[in-house]
Amino acid sequence: MEHIDHLPFIVASYAAAFAVVGALIVWVTLDYRVQRRTLARLESRGVTRRSAAMRSEPTMQQAKEEV
Amino acid sequence: MTLTELANPSRFLAFANRALPWLGGMTVIAFAFGLDMAMNAPNDYQQGATVKIMYLHVPSAWLGMLGWALMSVAALGTLVWRHPLADVAAKAAAPIGAAFTLLCLVTGSLWGRPEWGTYWVWDARLTSELVLFLLYLGVIALWRTVEDPSRAARAAAILTLVGAIDLPIIKFSVDWWNTLHQGSSVFRLGGSTIYPTILIPLLVMALAFTLLFATLHLAAMRNEILRRRVRTFRLMQASAAS
């Protein structure tokens, strides 16, 4: 096998890169799941955005048009 | 889709959900090419095989600085234009920029030990890069300390703009002071001093890291918008209960 100078330093650098990038990916993925789950729990308790709540109820103008 | 349209968080979430799989896929492909080219690139006549560390170190350094530059533009967006997503963009970029700056410092140390005989020297380039990492930690701590999001956003924006002074110091430190760190060798007047067999893998790795940064940043922005929606819901729930 070919001898590579300072191999432990090269391996350590790539291991550090995999660790840092891996940690970032795990953080972003887990954070997304946590926020989605929390939002779903709150929505199941009937908490909704005012804009969404307003959209679900017809405005006076829409009500007039329907009539 | 224009920037103004993306200012609507719901539209931005829809855009992020559509763009993320494509960005993720492009990142994986770019890394597959970049790592293959980096592993098969010839050794440097001076550094030997340790030049392979440069394929990680140089892109990390660029992205650490790019992260702060992006946050500085977002800080202007927060303070001047009051763009609703400016603070979201800045807050999402901070941990990613910090991680890349840390990676730059770690890989630089691991390269320095065999090449310079030491893991660390207090030279201008290394010290200004360390200052950038500390600035990232400071701005992250500030966002976590101030409870009111709009006050936290303004304070973080001011700190970000003050900290932006470090970017030209990092870039030109090797010209202004006599440093152990080598001078600019990629982006310089008169062209790159790096031979193409090493330069091309380096640029492909830089592209891969940039795509990774963009993917992570978009995903982190999506998370931040959802976090703010959770906060609003909780406040609404609390006010309804009282």
Q: What is the pLDDT of residue A2?
A: 63
Nearest to B181 by CA among B98, B115, B102: B115
Chain B residue nearest residue A48, CA to CA: B233
Of B100, B220, B230, the CB nearest to A38: B230
Could you tell me which residue, A63 or A50, shows the higher pLDDT?
A: A50
**pLDDT at residue A55 above 70?**
no
Question: Mutate which of A3, A7, A28 to test chain B, going by most B C-beta atoms within 10 A?
Answer: A28
User: With contacts defined as CB-CB under 8 Å, which chain A residues touch B49?
Assistant: 4-7, 10
Q: What is the pLDDT of residue A65?
A: 37
Q: What is the pLDDT of residue A50?
A: 59
Any idea what DSSP says for residue B147? -
User: With contacts defined as CB-CB under 8 Å, which chain A residues touch B55?
Assistant: none
Q: How many angstroms separate the first and last alpha carbons of chain B?
A: 41
Q: Which amino acid is at A13?
A: S
Q: What is the pLDDT of residue A62?
A: 39
Percent of chain A residues past pLDDT 70, beyond the cut: 69
Number of H helices, E strands in chain A: 3, 0
For range B206-233, the mean pLDDT? 96
**pLDDT at residue A59 above 70?**
no
What is the number of other CB atoms lying within 10 angstroms of the CB of residue B119?
Answer: 12
Nearest to B214 by CA among B39, B79, B75, B20: B20
Question: Across the interface, do B230 and A28 touch by the CB < 8 Å criterion?
Answer: no
Nearest to B104 by CA among B134, B70, B76, B129: B129
Q: What is the pLDDT of residue B238?
A: 84
B90-105: burial string, b at 16+ Cβ within 10 Å, e else: bbbbbbbbbbbbbbbb
Q: Quickly list H helices, chain B.
A: 3-6, 9-40, 51-76, 86-116, 124-145, 149-163, 166-176, 196-241
Chain A residue nearest residue B57, CA to CA: A13
Q: Looking at the complex, does the CB of residue A16 fall below 8 Å from at least one CB of chain B? A: yes
Nearest to B241 by CA among A43, A47, A50: A47
Q: What is the least distance, in Å, from the CA of B92 to any CA of chain A?
A: 10
Question: Across the interface, do B56 and A10 touch by the CB < 8 Å criterion?
Answer: no
Q: Concatenated DSSP letters for B152-188?
A: HHHHHHHHHHHHTTHHHHHHHHHHHS--SS----SS-
Q: What is the pLDDT of residue B147?
A: 84
pLDDT in tens, B152-188: 999 999 999 999 999 999 999 988 888 888 877 777 7
Residue spans per domain, chain B:
14-237
Chain A residue nearest residue B238, CA to CA: A47
**pLDDT at residue B190 above 80?**
no
Q: What is the pLDDT of residue B48?
A: 87
In the structure, what pLDDT confidence band is assigned to residue A47 with cuts at 50, 70 and 90? confident
Give the C-alpha distances (Å, rounded to integers) separating B53 from A43, B5, B209: 48, 42, 14
Question: Mutate which of A2, A7, A21, A55 to test chain B, going by most B C-beta atoms within 10 A?
Answer: A21
Any idea what DSSP says for residue B86? H
In the structure, what pLDDT confidence band is assigned to residue B62 with cuts at 50, 70 and 90? very high
Question: Across the interface, do B216 and A24 touch by the CB < 8 Å criterion?
Answer: yes
Mean pLDDT, chain B, integer? 92
**pLDDT at residue B189 above 60?**
yes
pLDDT in tens, B29-57: 999 999 999 999 988 888 889 999 999 99
Instruction: Identify the residue whose tokens are 């790539």.
Output: A14
User: With contacts defined as CB-CB under 8 Å, which chain A residues touch B212?
Assistant: 21
In the structure, what pLDDT confidence band is assigned to residue B203 with cuts at 50, 70 and 90? very high
Q: What is the pLDDT of residue A56?
A: 46
Predicted TM-score (pTM) of this structure: 0.89
**pLDDT at residue A60 above 50?**
no
Question: Mutate which of A6, A36, A42, A51 to test chain B, going by most B C-beta atoms within 10 A?
Answer: A6
